[in-house]
Amino acid sequence: MTITDHNTVGEIVAQDYRTAAVFQSFDIDFCCKGNHTLREACENKHLDVDVMLADLEHVMHQKDDSTPDFQSWPLDLLADYIEKTHHRYVEKTIPVLKQYLVKVCKVHGKRYPELYEIADQFNAAAAELTSHMKKEELILFPYIRTLVQARFHEQFLQRPPFGTIQHPITMMMQEHDVEGERFRKIAMLSGSYTPPPDACTTFTVTYSTLKQFEGDLHRHIHLENNILFPNAIALEATFA
């Protein structure tokens, strides 16, 4: 792929996930705000777009076979991957982080009161993400699998109760925006997940796990917003 400043950030990362590291290094959101063009993203951060293009091209031309080409995957396989990799990670990690946050708030909350707000933000995110993932697993993803099967077997498509896939996708993307904003706030409150000098092991592990959780969430949202959702909308349109 030859990229220009007119490509969106999401398109660039969808074509080669290694470029995400470049965007992250400049604090450019490639998942929730991946619909911005590269030029717009650079202007918002007062960056030289030509330098950014050179950095991205350099990363994209390095030989690396370790990152799957998600763009080429069938949509039902990608939905399965998201469920089994990212949904399971969220479900497994939420109770662990809740336990850590209760402990660090109890031990360190007086000296570092921002921990209470971090805990509140994470608990809100945990509740919303749990509900969000269930809606995907019970409503949106099954319909995407139906689309794939109907196209593969050249069958008639029974329209869903929600009319068109764009309706649930719009809702999911709005919820992604909310969670992206929550984790930007958590990152700010924690000093980009930097524990204080006197932090105990649990404090340090809590911040490290929160950082990992945010990183997984970014990749999770990217796969949906920039690959699964637009391709599902395009697939549904072929039945019109």
State yes or no: pLDDT of 108 exceeds 80: yes
- Model pTM score: 0.83
pLDDT for residue 68 = 85
Helices marked H in the chain — which ranges? Answer: 9-15, 19-25, 38-45, 49-60, 75-81, 88-108, 114-135, 141-152, 166-189, 201-222, 229-237
CA distance linking residue 30 with residue 224, whole number of Å: 12
DSSP assigned state of 72:
G
For the beta carbon of residue 12, count every other beta carbon within 10 angstroms. 26
Cβ-based burial of 122 (10 A; exposed 0-12, middle 13-18, buried ≥19):
buried
Q: Share the mean pLDDT of the chain.
A: 93
Q: Produce one character per residue of 134-143: b if its CB has 16 or more CB atoms within 10 Å, e if not.
A: eebeeebbeb
Question: Comparing C-alpha atoms, which of 13, 15, 43 is closest to residue 31?
Answer: 13
In angstroms, rounded to a whole number, what is the distance separating the alpha carbons of residues 203 and 90? Answer: 20
H/E run at residue 193: none
pLDDT of amino acid 14: 85
What's the confidence (pLDDT) of residue 31?
A: 82
Average pLDDT of 140-155? 94
Residues in the chain: 240
